[in-house]
Amino acid sequence: MKQIAILLLCFTTLNACGQSTANNAKADKQINIPGTRLFINLPEGLKVASNFAGLQKDNYTGLQVYDLVGGNYYTNAATFSREAFEQKGVTVFDYKETTINGYPAKYIYMQADATAKTYALVFGDTTFSATIMAFCPAADEEVSRRIRKAILSVTYNKKLKVDPFATAVFKLDDSKSKFKFAKASANVFIYSVNGVNKETYGDDEPMLMVNTLPADNTTTPSSIGGMLIGSLEKYGFTDKKLSYELTDKVNGYNAYEAVVYGNLKGQKTAIYQLVLLNKDKLVAIQGTAKNNYDSTIQDFKKLARTITFKTQ
């Protein structure tokens, strides 16, 4: 749960809107993180994760990569700063603005609770914004050193073609839905009407987003659902009113489903949400509708409830 809270804090900071140079020379052990265009030196003891884009040692040690193709580093990271995290009560050990593989970057080493320390790195240009979030036990100085060294080793290949579902832990059947898969970026999968792929979608265009998050033994679908709905306040979602709520099993998985109405920047908006947990795999589905509320919510629900988790 702490990891998810820090992830949400980091992305709220990234989207709210002397340099030194790191050593980014490629090494023999450098590997590609599946589903991304990022390469990294593999730290001893870690391996490619099976249920997210990144590396993992155990439930307490790993790093997750968010490759936002089409994003703009300069706007996304505008408020990523020591001060922004310290204002949230996070202890910051180190912060620097540097370069990674020739791209401008911001790096932070911090601690939000007594058990774990966190590294975050964001870099890119006007065409992409890549973020790495890493966690390790607070007392394990050796693994912390290895993770830091690996993070600062990353390189990025803009020309690399990637499979957007390479690390997806879920499947959705959009064959009978008007919402089709449009694009994936930074572990977020977007479904739009007829699968239209745009850099941004208009204020009146409904869309469904599927996000994968790490889970631990304290995670429940309802707690994550509440956290995600609460985070929308930072983007101007006000006057929330819960219209529908269900805590049950969906397709055999523990799930939380809800519909919330409110105002998003002055416009009446309905938010559909389905959060599912399957062991250590967590998927959050969220749809946004600003007109034709009832029918659009039903379309969201029809597609979301086709979800199954992939077997390893």
CATH code assigned at 271? 3.40.1000.10
Q: State whether 8 and 134 are in the same domain.
A: yes
Q: State whether 207 and 111 are in the same domain.
A: no
Which residue range is the domain that position 101 belongs to? 2-156
Tell me, yes or no, whether 161 lies in a domain: no
Q: Are 57 and 143 in contact (CB under 8 A)?
A: yes
- Count: domains in the chain: 2
Residue 312, pLDDT score = 60
Residue 299, pLDDT score = 97
Q: State whether 94 and 212 are in the same domain.
A: no
Q: What is the Cα–Cα distance from 144 to 246, expressed in whole angstroms?
A: 40
End-of-domain residue from the set 122, 156, 190: 156
Residue ranges in the chain modelled with pLDDT below 70: 1-28, 186, 214, 312
Q: State whether 199 and 288 are in the same domain.
A: yes
Q: Is the sign of the CA dihedral 251, 11, 174, 128 positive or negative?
A: negative
End-of-domain residue from the set 107, 129, 156: 156
Close Cβ partners of 195 (under 8 Å, ≥ 6 residues apart): 174, 179, 180, 181, 182
Q: State whether 138 and 185 are in the same domain.
A: no
Q: State whether 59 and 177 are in the same domain.
A: no
End-of-domain residue from the set 156, 179, 199: 156
Tell me, yes or no, whether 53 lies in a domain: yes
Q: pLDDT per residue over 254-266, tens digit each? A: 999 999 999 988 8
Q: What is the Cα–Cα distance from 131 to 68, expressed in whole angstroms?
A: 8
Tell me, yes or no, whether 40 lies in a domain: yes
Q: pLDDT per residue over 188-235, tens digit each? A: 899 999 999 887 777 789 999 998 876 777 889 999 998 888 888 878
Residue 23, pLDDT score = 43
Residue 186, pLDDT score = 67
Residue 26, pLDDT score = 47
